[in-house]
Amino acid sequence: MSKRSIVALGTTVAGVDVSKARLDVVLWPQGESFALGNDASGWRALRKRLRAAGVKRLGLEASGGYERGVVEAVRDDGLEVVLLRPLQVRAFARFRGQRAKTDRIDAALIAECAAQAEERAHERPRECKEAADLLTLYEQTAGDLARLRNRLERFRDGELAALLTEPIAYLKAFRQTLLIRLRRLVRTHDQLAHRVALLQSIPGVGFLNAISLAARVPELGGMTRQQAAALLGLAPFNHDSGNWQGARHIAGGRARPRRLLYMAAVAAARCDPSMIAFYQRLIGKGKPHNVAIVAVMRKLVAAANAVIKRDTPWIPTS
């Protein structure tokens, strides 16, 4: 359903402001509002209310995972689900001059913003969601482990150092357990395993990067290389005015897969001959290290998009 049909035909759109325990719902353009619990009973009641109101599109704001139950509950009702980023909703509020903020006001903004959206949210397969959750926990555990190791280096007291080694050992074992579960999950889902294998054929892209791209960027293979770069926040934006031309900067995009991709780019710039040459060429032109690495990241994203689109492993360039 296009943006024009949603707005011009007056189709009812529901906006849902999601919190841990509650759903605030506003129907657009009628303005009817109601609140439900963010639990199985509330989800069933929401489905019933939306069907009765003839809602065709549902807008939600990403809320740290609290929105997942709602999305799962309405998935089979034929609703067009639009998952908005908080930045989009806040920008829409500023455009409207809306300063007041309540859950109901937010739900109304989400509904109107979703009515203007041109595309529906990409539905990720269940195994991709499971893999993304496991990978996030793995990354969080690795972060906790790094912080504890940094603390250990500061202590010379043997007793305190010994106390810190225990949680460090536990986190190392837990991290390994998560990695094993990730590999097991990939093995038990043929399509996911196939995408991961294709992505791992790209120089510099290891298992964690491959599963990150496969699970967190399921749109790969169905877009242009420019769109793929923009989706991960790697597309440089112009900053010009009149005769003045400012430096280009990247912004936005999906931070978690981008952070892992940075490590892949560093590896590729050291081990892949074509990437080494590309990186050195940029450095030779006076580009800073980080700018050159971001350019390598864009090439890796383009390669990832290409192997998924072609459904063939990466072919090294001579």
So what's the pLDDT on residue 8?
39
Q: Tokens in use for 22?
A: 């509650």
Dihedral sign from CA coordinates of 75, 48, 35, 21: negative
- Cβ atoms 195, 254 nearer than 8 A: no
286 backbone φψ class: left, alpha, beta (φ>0; ψ -120 to 50): left
| 274: number of Cβ within 10 Å | 13
Alpha carbon 262 to its chain centroid, in Å, reads: 15
So what's the pLDDT on residue 116?
81
Mean per-residue pLDDT pooled into runs of 10, the chain (318 residues): 45 90 92 93 92 89 82 80 81 80 89 76 73 94 93 78 88 96 95 95 94 93 88 68 48 80 93 92 93 94 95 82
- Over residues 253-271, the pLDDT tens digits come to 788 899 999 999 999 999 8
So what's the pLDDT on residue 11?
78
So what's the pLDDT on residue 71?
85
> What order of strands is seen across the sheet that includes strand 57-61?
33-37, 22-28, 13-18, 57-61, 80-84
**Which residues make Cβ contacts (< 8 Å) with residue 52, sequence separation at least 6?**
none
Gyration radius of the chain's alpha carbons = 23
User: How is domain 3-116 classified at the CATH fold level?
Assistant: Nucleotidyltransferase; domain 5 (3.30.420)
So what's the pLDDT on residue 93?
82
- Over residues 283-293, the pLDDT tens digits come to 999 999 999 99
105-142 as b/e: b if 16+ CB within 10 A: bbbbbbbbbbbebeeebeebeebbbbbbebbbebbebe
Name the phi and psi angles at 217, rounded to 5.
-130, 65
Dihedral sign from CA coordinates of 49, 53, 55, 61: negative
Place of tokens 């989400």: 110
So what's the pLDDT on residue 276?
94
Dihedral sign from CA coordinates of 183, 187, 193, 197: positive
- Cβ atoms 310, 220 nearer than 8 A: no
Q: Tokens in use for 290?
A: 């980080």
- Over residues 49-97, the pLDDT tens digits come to 999 998 988 999 877 778 888 888 887 777 888 888 787 788 888 887 8
In angstroms, the Cα distances linking 266 to 143, 166, 305 are 19, 32, 19
